[in-house]
């Protein structure tokens, strides 16, 4: 699931190193900006190895069939450059790029296995798209009506029913209001009910917060007004679109959790499967080494001042949160400094 932005345990020694030394990396520099977290926050993040996290396997499936087929439903009005940007991120999961890369970031997800020792697939493709331009269920959606959006797409034949390899990604445009959006979630994943869709299919929803709450769901590319008045400046998004650049980290968060816990009975911490703490939740808001105490972690900044931590295909750059590693028992990402 997707709690908002959380606090981190922070190693002071690494902070001193990072704040007194900027390391050049080609045309980019490394920086660790301090951005106080937004008001809605809690404490679940662990940068260093921790025995406090009881992430357990509950015997359910992971997405091990290859490739993982993503079927995108564009709900509302989307500009072509926005669609291309999101699809470039998704295709980067299985595309080689200079390190640190999106495909290296996905390797953490691929460490998760099912009871047969089958790993989450490292091959991810966009297998189909459907544009719901007419807002067929209106501009205000509930969690259940999102399933109706999926039902409309598959029952009309616009998208196939892919039981074995398919996951469905519903992306709502900035003018669509979704239940709990901005207040409690920036995105979520679950599975469809046969009574509503006719099938049990893993899906995720993510909304474009650019118009509604960028300071919550596109953070750190926007900060709450009261923070900005204190002199803190939001980071510049790597692709120039606050809403969509912010969505990409949420999309990565939900895809990682859906792949390791598609039916909410595989990998999660806690005893309540209706509110599990998953591999993205544990690292929400952490993007590099030395994160915590208001610091997002060490990330790169290009010559134009745009911040990123991953390279993707087509020359793209992205800022995507870290994920919990079952091997390191800590949050991990390919841009780690140690």
Is residue 30 over pLDDT 80? yes
- How confident is the model over 127-169, as pLDDT tens digits? 999 999 999 999 999 999 999 999 999 999 999 999 999 999 9
29 in a structural domain: no
State the pLDDT at residue 111.
98
334 in a structural domain: no
Segment 91-107 mean pLDDT: 98
> Which two tokens mark 17?
């190193």
Residue spans of beta strands (DSSP E) within the chain: 7-8, 24-25, 28-31, 43-45, 55-57, 68-75, 124-132, 140-141, 166-172, 177-178, 187-191, 202-207, 267-269, 299-301, 307-308, 310-311, 317-318, 323-325, 330-332
246 in a structural domain: yes
State the pLDDT at residue 274.
84
300 in a structural domain: no
Is residue 13 over pLDDT 60? no
Domain count, the chain: 1
Is residue 51 over pLDDT 90? no
Element (H, E) at 103: helix 102-110
Segment 54-77 mean pLDDT: 97
State the pLDDT at residue 134.
96
State the pLDDT at residue 228.
55
319 in a structural domain: no
- How confident is the model over 166-182, as pLDDT tens digits? 999 999 999 999 999 99
State the pLDDT at residue 81.
98
State the pLDDT at residue 206.
98
Is residue 10 over pLDDT 50? no
Residue 26's region, left for phi above 0, alpha for psi from -120 to 50, else beta, is left
| Residue 33 and residue 235 in contact, taking contact as beta carbons nearer than 8 Å | yes
State the pLDDT at residue 336.
96
Which string of b and e fits 241-259 if b means at least 16 CB within 10 Å?
A: bbbbbbbbbbbbbbbbbbb
State the pLDDT at residue 107.
98
159 in a structural domain: yes
Lowest mean pLDDT among 21-25, 193-197, 296-300: 21-25
192 in a structural domain: yes
* pLDDT class of 24 with cuts at 50, 70, 90: very low
- How confident is the model over 194-227, as pLDDT tens digits? 999 999 999 999 999 999 999 999 999 998 876 6
State the pLDDT at residue 23.
39
197 in a structural domain: yes
**Cα–Cα distance for residue pair 242/210, rounded to 1 Å:** 6
State the pLDDT at residue 237.
98
Domain residues for 203?
A: 57-275
Lowest mean pLDDT among 15-24, 53-62, 234-243: 15-24
Q: What's the whole-model pTM score? A: 0.89
């Amino acid at each position: 699931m997707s709690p908002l932005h959380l606090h981190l345990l922070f190693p002071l020694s690494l902070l001193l190193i990072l704040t007194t030394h900027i390391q050049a990396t080609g045309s980019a520099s490394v920086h660790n900006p301090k951005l106080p977290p937004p008001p809605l926050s809690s404490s679940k993040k662990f940068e260093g190895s921790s025995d406090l996290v009881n992430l357990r396997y509950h015997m359910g499936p992971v997405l091990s069939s290859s490739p993982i087929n993503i079927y995108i439903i564009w709900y509302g009005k989307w500009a072509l450059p926005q669609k291309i940007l999101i699809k470039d991120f998704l295709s980067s999961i299985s595309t080689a790029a200079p390190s640190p890369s999106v495909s290296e970031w996905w390797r953490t997800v691929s460490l998760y296995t099912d009871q047969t020792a089958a790993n989450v697939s490292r091959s991810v493709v966009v297998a189909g798209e459907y544009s719901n331009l007419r807002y067929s269920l209106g501009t205000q959606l509930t969690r259940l009506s999102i399933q109706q959006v999926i039902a409309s797409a598959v029952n009309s034949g616009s998208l196939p029913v892919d039981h074995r390899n398919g996951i469905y990604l519903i992306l709502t445009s900035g003018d669509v209001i979704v239940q709990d959006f901005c207040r409690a979630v920036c995105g979520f994943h679950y599975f469809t009910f046969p009574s509503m869709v006719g099938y049990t299919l893993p899906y995720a929803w993510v909304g474009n917060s650019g118009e509604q709450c960028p300071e919550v769901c596109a953070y750190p590319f926007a900060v709450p007004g009261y923070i900005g008045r204190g002199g803190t400046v939001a980071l510049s998004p790597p692709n120039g679109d606050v809403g969509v650049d912010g969505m990409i980290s949420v999309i990565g968060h939900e895809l990682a959790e859906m792949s390791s816990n598609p039916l909410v009975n595989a990998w999660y911490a806690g005893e309540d499967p209706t509110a599990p703490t998953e591999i993205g939740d544990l690292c929400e808001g952490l993007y590099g080494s030395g994160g915590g105490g208001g610091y997002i972690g060490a990330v790169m900044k290009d010559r134009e001042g745009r911040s990123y931590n991953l390279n993707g295909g087509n020359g793209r750059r992205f800022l995507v949160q870290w994920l919990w590693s079952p091997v390191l028992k800590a949050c991990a990402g390919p841009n780690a400094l140690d």
